[in-house]
């Protein structure tokens, strides 16, 4: 059974002006699609045939891992964004953020720092640790918290293709814009 590109949870132009329709066309329509296509080409005839996407991410390495994890990471990223996003979280997630980082502002600063400090291609994540505390992690290339004990709640893609059309080298401006799009309801729904 082939993997499919999940539908984008909003219109291509819904995230403008923070993320343009042109960026979505390439990022979702080309990059995300290519990872799906590559995965479907790589998996048949291997021990991973018939496994779910998450199982493949957790058990594979090399090219299969890169493509499977990028399929998963991008779907998670689209869900982390919303045209109705931004602002601050409420309820349980807000409490957990205050408890782990001191304040929402302190969390935002630290997440931004991690996103800007990820050298090369990668991702910044808000994760829930096994002990219930929250943390911020950076992963390189396709690496994802899914393979470890942390539970991802929110991600920001800092591969250059995520922002180059709109922001060129100015990753800081992209991350600043990202805060206007964060889907806090989705992040909260990922908590244990």
Partner 1 sequence: MIRPFLTLLVLALVLAAPRLDAGDAPFALAPLPYPPDALEPVIDAKTMEIHHGRHHKAYVDNLNAQAAQIPELAGLSLLDLQRQMSRFPTAVRNNGGGHWNHDFFWNLMTRPGTGGEPSAALAAAIERDFGGLDAMKQAFQQAGLARFGSGWAWLIVRPDGRLAITSTPNQDNPLMDLVPEAERGTPILGNDVWEHAYYLAYQNRRGDYLAAWWQVVDWGKVSAHYDRAIAELAPSAAAAAAK
With binding defined as CB under 8 A, does residue 159 bind partner 1?
yes
Question: What sections of the chain are H helices per DSSP?
Answer: 21-26, 33-42, 53-59, 62-80, 91-101, 104-117, 164-167, 171-178, 184-189
Rounded to a whole number of angstroms, the minimum distance from the CB of residue 165 to partner 1 is: 7
Rounded to a whole number of angstroms, the minimum distance from the CB of residue 112 to partner 1 is: 17
Site string for partner 1, 76-115 (x = CB under 8 A): ----------------------------------------
Tell me the CA end-to-end span of the chain in Å, nearest whole number. Answer: 30
Of 109, 110, 77, nearest to 181 by C-alpha is 77
With binding defined as CB under 8 A, does residue 61 bind partner 1?
no
Biggest CA pair distance of the chain: 50
| Window of 76-84, 100-108, 165-173, 178-186 that interacts with partner 1 by CB under 8 A | 165-173
Measured distance CA(179)–CA(108) in Å, rounded: 9
Answer for which of 51, 94, 165, 191 binds partner 1 (CB under 8 A) is 165
Q: Which of residues 117-146 bind partner 1 (CB under 8 A)?
A: 119-122, 140-142
The continuous run of DSSP H or E covering 157 comes out as strand 151-157
Binding site residues, partner 1, CB under 8 A: 26, 30-31, 34, 66, 119-122, 140-142, 159-161, 164-165, 168-169
């Amino acid at each position: 059974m082939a993997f499919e590109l999940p539908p984008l949870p909003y219109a291509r132009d819904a995230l403008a002006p923070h993320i343009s329709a042109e960026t979505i066309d390439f990022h979702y329509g080309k990059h995300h699609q290519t990872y799906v296509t590559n995965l479907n080409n790589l998996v048949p005839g291997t021990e991973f045939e018939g496994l779910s996407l998450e199982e493949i991410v957790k058990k594979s390495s090399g090219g299969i891992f890169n493509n499977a994890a990028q399929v998963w990471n991008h779907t998670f990223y689209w869900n982390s964004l919303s045209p109705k996003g931004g602002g601050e979280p409420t309820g349980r997630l807000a409490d957990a953020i205050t408890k782990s980082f001191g304040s929402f502002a302190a969390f935002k600063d630290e997440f931004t720092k991690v996103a800007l400090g990820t050298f090369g291609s990668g991702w910044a994540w808000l994760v829930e640790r096994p002990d219930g505390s929250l943390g911020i992690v950076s992963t390189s290339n396709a690496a994802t918290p899914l393979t470890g004990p942390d539970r991802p709640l929110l991600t920001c893609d800092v591969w250059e293709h995520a922002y180059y059309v709109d922001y060129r080298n100015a990753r800081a401006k992209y991350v600043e814009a990202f805060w206007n799009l964060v889907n806090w309801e989705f992040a909260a729904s990922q908590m244990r």
